[in-house]
């Protein structure tokens, strides 16, 4: 009976070990793939300025549970009331994927993490934008993130991790730009000419460029059997396309042709395992920056890039542990049968 108890306890332990490892790895995988939860805020959220006054706004990010590898900021505002003088990188992201550009009612910049092994988490300043107040407002106006603002998170592929954004509401008074009240000599009636005033529509996401950058190959979340894949896609014709492959990282620059096609074959082999591509393109006509991200897996080759057997992809480790546990169960069960028969006899 003691031997039976020992065998049963051993069986439980042998099964518990792979089961514990499996559950632990599954929980770790779930923690890595968090749902989109990142927010962006323009601060201060409420501000009052006078005509001709210069001021700055900060674009701040809270990543929540996400691990961010890249961000493309596209900010819009009323060009009749505000002028953007520049947009600069903040302290949160170390890499500038596309330099900051300002235009008529727009400001854009694309930034990235050093690599996917050190993604950006927490809160911080993504960028700082300097404005000049041009004209007084009859009601508060908004500086906001346009709908094509994109936040790329680790293990999220091309899904936008941005869930919400908070604009900055600005009131501009006419203290410095007020028109003096005219005085007239006695007996002279002034002639008043009415000039129609055009009310500008509030700039929003419609001021952003409709052209965007896309990655056509590799396919999202696919596995490739070469360590030097060809990356290709579409972008505005003549635009400069910056390609960054994490987590090695590798950064190259190409130019989209007249049809908007761009392509690049990696000169250096990638290590086996998951990788993320971040592509940033700057429209030569509007100066607007666009970013696209894509996750894929190099499923062949060793860490030095030499060809060899395929490496395990997501899920195969768990299957291996399950098969190992079942094998131990069969072995222990088979070893118990002769013993039980001897006990019965």
More confident residue, 52 or 1: 52
Q: pTM for this one?
A: 0.57
Q: What residue spans of the chain are helical by DSSP H?
A: 2-32, 316-344
pLDDT in tens, 258-291: 888 889 998 888 888 888 888 888 778 877 777 8
**Following CA atoms 275, 277, 278, 279 in sequence, which dihedral angle do they give, to the nearest 10 degrees?**
170
Whole-number Å distance between alpha carbons of 244 and 248? 9
> What does 35-70 look like in DSSP terms, one character per residue?
PP-EEEEEESSEEEEETT-EEEEEEEEE-TT--EEE
Mean predicted lDDT score pLDDT of the chain: 77
For the chain, what percent of residues have pLDDT higher than 70? Answer: 67
CATH number of this structure's domain 33-177+201-298: 2.60.40.680
pLDDT in tens, 135-194: 999 999 999 999 989 998 887 766 889 999 999 999 999 864 444 445 444 555 555 444
Mean pLDDT of 198-214: 44
Is the distance from CB of 243 to CB of 253 less than 8 angstroms? yes
Whole-number Å distance between alpha carbons of 275 and 296? 6
pLDDT in tens, 57-98: 999 999 999 999 889 999 999 999 999 999 999 999 998 888
């Amino acid at each position: 009976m003691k031997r039976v108890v020992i065998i049963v306890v051993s069986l439980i332990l042998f099964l518990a070990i792979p089961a514990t490892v499996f559950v632990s790895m599954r929980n770790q995988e779930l923690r890595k793939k968090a749902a989109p939860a990142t927010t962006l805020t323009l601060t201060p959220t409420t501000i009052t300025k006078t005509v001709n006054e210069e001021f700055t706004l900060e674009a701040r990010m809270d990543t929540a549970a996400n691990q961010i590898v890249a961000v493309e900021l596209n900010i819009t505002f009323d060009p009749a009331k505000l002028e953007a003088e520049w947009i600069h990188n903040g302290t949160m992201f170390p890499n500038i994927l596309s330099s900051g550009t300002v235009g008529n009612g727009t400001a854009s910049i694309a930034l990235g993490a050093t690599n996917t092994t050190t993604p950006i988490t927490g809160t911080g300043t993504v960028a700082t934008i300097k404005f000049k107040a041009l004209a007084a407002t009859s009601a508060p106006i908004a500086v906001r993130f346009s709908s094509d603002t994109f936040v790329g998170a680790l293990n999220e592929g091309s899904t936008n991790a941005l869930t919400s954004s908070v604009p900055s509401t600005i009131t501009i008074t006419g203290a410095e730009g007020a028109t003096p009240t005219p005085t007239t000599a006695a007996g002279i009636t002034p002639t008043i000419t009415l000039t129609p005033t055009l009310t500008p529509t509030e700039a929003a996401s419609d001021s952003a460029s409709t052209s965007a950058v896309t990655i056509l190959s590799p396919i999202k979340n696919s596995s490739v059997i070469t360590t030097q894949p060809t990356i290709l896609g579409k972008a505005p014709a003549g635009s400069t396309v910056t390609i960054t492959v994490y987590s090695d990282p590798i950064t190259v620059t190409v130019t989209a042709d007249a049809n908007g096609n761009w392509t690049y074959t990696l000169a250096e082999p990638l290590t086996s395992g998951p990788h993320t591509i971040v592509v940033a393109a700057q429209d030569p006509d509007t100066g607007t920056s666009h970013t696209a991200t894509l996750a894929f897996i190099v499923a062949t080759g060793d860490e030095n890039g030499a060809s060899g057997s395929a490496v395990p992809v997501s899920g195969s480790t768990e299957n291996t542990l399950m098969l190992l546990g079942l094998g131990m169960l069969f072995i222990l069960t088979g070893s118990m049968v002769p013993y039980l028969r001897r006990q019965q006899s």
